[in-house]
Amino acid sequence: MQISLVFKVVLMCIALGIFSTAFMDLCNILGKKLRIHNGGSYALIGRWIGGFFHGQFRYQNILQAAPLRHEKAIGCFAHYGIGIGLSFLYYVTSVAMDMPLDNMLWAIAFGIFTNVLPWFWMFPAFGFGVLGSKGPQNNTLLRSSFLNHLGFGVALGIGAKLLLLALK
C-alpha cells in the first residue's frame, strides 16, 4: 500500500467519522425537538470518560455523581473520537467483507450494530443497566440510541458516497 493511499484512507475515515457523528448529533437534536426521546448528553459521557482518570469506571447512578470540570468538552471530544474510530472499523470491515463503502444497506446495518456500545457497555457503566433498563424515569435511552446510531449509519453511507465521488 502506497503512503499516499494510506494517507487518503486515514483522511477519508476521519472526515467520514466527523460527518457521521455530526449527523448523529443532528438526529439527536431532531429527536428531542419532536419529543421522540430525551436525547443524549455530552456531559454524562464526559463524566464517565473523565472518571477513568480517577479510577471510576462504573457508577451506581451517574446522574448522582459529582460533575467534573470540563465534562461537556471531554464528552464531545470522546464522542467524535469514537465516531472516527468507528469509521475506521467500518472501512476495515467493508474491505474485509469486500463490501462497497457506499452500500447504504451495509452502512445502515453497521450503524445499527454500533448500538452494542451504549446498550451493553455505556448504559451499564452509567448504572442504567443493560439496554438502559434501569435508566431515569421516562426512560427513552433505548429509543434515542437506536435512532441516533441509525442516523450514524445513514451518514456513513451518504458520506462514503460523497467522499468516493470527490476522490474520483
Say how far apart CA 111 and CA 19 lie, in whole Å.
Answer: 13
pLDDT band at 111 (very low <50, low <70, confident <90, very high): very high
Conformation bin of residue 127: beta by default, left when phi > 0, alpha when psi is -120 to 50? left
Q: Give pairs for 44-49: CB < 8 Å, separation 24+.
A: 44/71, 44/75, 44/126, 45/74, 45/75, 45/78, 45/79, 45/122, 46/70, 46/71, 46/72, 46/73, 46/74, 46/75, 46/76, 46/78, 47/71, 47/75, 48/122, 48/125, 48/126, 49/74, 49/75, 49/78
Is residue 72's pLDDT more than 70? yes
Q: Where exactly are the structural domains of the chain?
A: 26-167
Mean pLDDT within 80-105: 97
136 or 117, higher pLDDT: 117
What average pLDDT does this structure show over 145-159?
97
**pLDDT of 2:** 64
